Structure 1
Amino acid sequence: MSVFGDIMSKIFRHPQAKAAPRPAPQAAPAAAAPSPAPAAAQAAAEAPAVDVGAVLEVMAKDNGQQLNWRQSIVDLLKLLSIDSSLANRKALAAELGYSGDTEDSAAMNIWLHKAVMQKLAENGGIVPDSLR
């Protein structure tokens, strides 16, 4: 399984992952012609939404460590019991399409946290703006 797949699995399959009402879709501009949605996008749109922030809060309360998971990709991975090594973060960066210098781990880590939260939102997660 991919690193991001592990992240999604840990959050979306957590016992506290309750389906939340999905926000209403934004209306498309009148000039835009409707296009058929790819099957994966359509399935994600029909799947129940998971409140990512709430699940991570519960996990943080159950965890004995003080982790800065709201801002740190390393701490987020630790919270999820996923390998937070540089090699695994580089693999995640490659998986999510990071085009920066992976030797600049600080910049990569900031990008990774934002990209993970964005990708969770794209895959049916309700991610609060404070985590994006």
Structure 2
Amino acid sequence: MGIFERIKTQIFGKDGGPFGDNYFGQKKDAPKPAPAPTPAPAPVQQHAPAAPAAPAAPATPATAPAQPVDARAAIARIAEQKGNPALNWQTSIVDLMKLLDLDSSLDNRKELATELGYTGAKDGSAEMNIWLHAAVLRELGKAGGHVPEKLKD
């Protein structure tokens, strides 16, 4: 699993995410709806002609389409629950990674830069880190998250 995939999982959740909630803030222990009962087959009549079959109803998707997740709110909730207001995740890739309990070392940021297509020098410069932060937030938006425009710059 790539570093961006780990970031996305920490923010949006996978199997409940880091705080036991799924994408929509529902507890992972919430009961799942019971499947609809299967109707019993109608008795077969021996002498009556068979009625024409009713047209099939259009198939409905098994799950509702995903709604955009407010990535900023999800990250803010993680920060609040961890109680570490000193981390400036809104502008710092290092602080964002620390908040998500990910290794923010230069090697990991270089790997993340490669994953996201950074073409500049992978030297840990301010330019690279600013680009990484904006790229991560843009990619979160592409992955179904709602990210305010001011955080993507």
TM-score for the superposition, normalised by structure 2: 0.65
Partner of 1:27: none
Aligned length in residues: 106
Stretches of structure 1 lacking an aligned partner (at least 5 in a row): 20-45
Sequence identity (%): 49
Partner residue of 1:18? 24
1:39 corresponds in structure 2 to none
Distance 1:48 1:69 in 2: 24
Runs of 4+ in 1 over 6 A off after TM superposition: none
Any idea what SS the aligned residue of 2:103 has? Answer: coil
CA contact (8 A) 1:100 1:108 kept: yes
Equivalent residue, structure 2, for 1:114? 134
- Relative CO higher for 1 or 2, CA cutoff 8 Å, sep ≥ 6? 1
Trace 1:1-132 onto structure 2 (pairs within 5 A).
1-13=1-13, 14=17, 15=21, 17-18=23-24, 46-65=65-84, 66-132=86-152
* CA 1:92–1:129: 2 relative to 1, 3 Å: same
Which has the higher mean CA deviation after the structures are superposed, 72-81 or 9-18? 9-18
What is the distance in 2 between the residues matched to 1:47 and 1:62? 25
- Structure 2: gaps of 5 or more residues: 26-64
TM-score w.r.t. the length of structure 1 is 0.75
